[in-house]
Amino acid sequence: MAEIEHGLEQDEQVRAPAARASEPSRPSAGPAGVGLKIYKPGQGYYTRVCTAVGMGILGVWGAYFIADQAGAYMDHKTSYFLGVQYGLGVGFLVLVGGLTYWLVGLSRKANDFFIATEGEMKKVNWSDRQEITRSTKVVIVATLLLSVFLFLADIAFMEFFSVIKVLRIPSTLQRFFGSES
């Protein structure tokens, strides 16, 4: 009996690395107490990374904007001008970095949302190229047909309102083909 259990343990040890090899490699949080702590570190990796990249882009743009605006409102001849101008930008960047770490690494609600989002995205059935091409053709043809229909309906209403003398415009036929005199 002990030999069978030992054999099962060996089978699990052999299968486990193969199963892990098919998953993308993700950085681990490290040993306990070392480095930054992350709530549920192995889950929702891609949504967390994309959120962090987006926050980073917004942070850099915001820091540039703040530094630029600070330069517009300050006297350029003072000795502390550059320190204040770039200090405000760097301070904003540090603030956004801390907010990003809290959002992506510590917030339980946000991370549960990221994990659930990534789980739902794995369930999505993505269309193939042929289906997208067919759908695009249908949309283009439907748009063209609808625009022609609306153009003709507009001309019909203009003609109707011109005949009952609500609009004072020449007849559509006169405008397109010249005078009918």
One pLDDT digit (tens) per residue for the chain, 181 residues:
455 544 545 544 544 444 444 445 555 555 555 567 877 877 878 888 888 999 999 999 999 998 888 877 776 677 777 788 888 889 999 999 999 988 888 888 888 888 888 888 888 888 899 999 999 999 999 999 999 999 999 989 988 888 888 877 776 666 666 655 4
140 and 169 share one domain: yes
Please say whether the dihedral angle defined by the alpha carbons of residues 127, 131, 132 and 138, taken in this order, is positive or negative. Answer: negative
User: Which pair of structure tokens corresponds to residue 29?
Assistant: 């949080």
80 and 149 share one domain: no
The pLDDT, as a whole number, for residue 139 is 98
49 and 74 share one domain: yes
114 and 143 share one domain: no
- The Cα 67–Cα 65 span in angstroms is 6
47: left (phi over 0), alpha (psi -120 to 50) or beta: alpha
The pLDDT, as a whole number, for residue 32 is 52
pTM of the full structure: 0.50
The pLDDT, as a whole number, for residue 173 is 63
b/e burial code for range 65-103 (CB count within 10 A of at least 16 → b): ebbeebbeeeeeeeeeeeeebeebbeebbeebeeebbeb
- Residue 27 counted as domain residue: no
114 and 47 share one domain: yes
- Residue 97 counted as domain residue: yes
Taking only Cα atoms into account, the Rg of the chain, rounded to an integer number of angstroms, comes to 32
115 and 147 share one domain: no
Count Cβ atoms within 10 A of the Cβ of residue 128 and give its class: 0-12 exposed, 13-18 middle, 19 or more buried: exposed
75 and 117 share one domain: yes
The pLDDT, as a whole number, for residue 96 is 92
- Residue 18 counted as domain residue: no
- The Cα 146–Cα 138 span in angstroms is 12
Please say whether the dihedral angle defined by the alpha carbons of residues 171, 172, 175 and 176, taken in this order, is positive or negative. Answer: negative
- Residue 8 counted as domain residue: no
118 and 144 share one domain: no
- Residue 119 counted as domain residue: yes
49 and 112 share one domain: yes
**Overall domain count for the chain:** 2
Helix 45-73 vs helix 108-123: crossing angle, to nearest 10: 120
Query: What does the angle CA 124 – CA 126 – CA 131 come to, to the nearest 5 degrees?
Result: 145
Task: Reduce the DSSP state of residue 84 to 3 states and report it.
Answer: helix
Distances (CA, A) of 144 to 100, 136, 151, 153, 176: 46, 12, 11, 14, 22
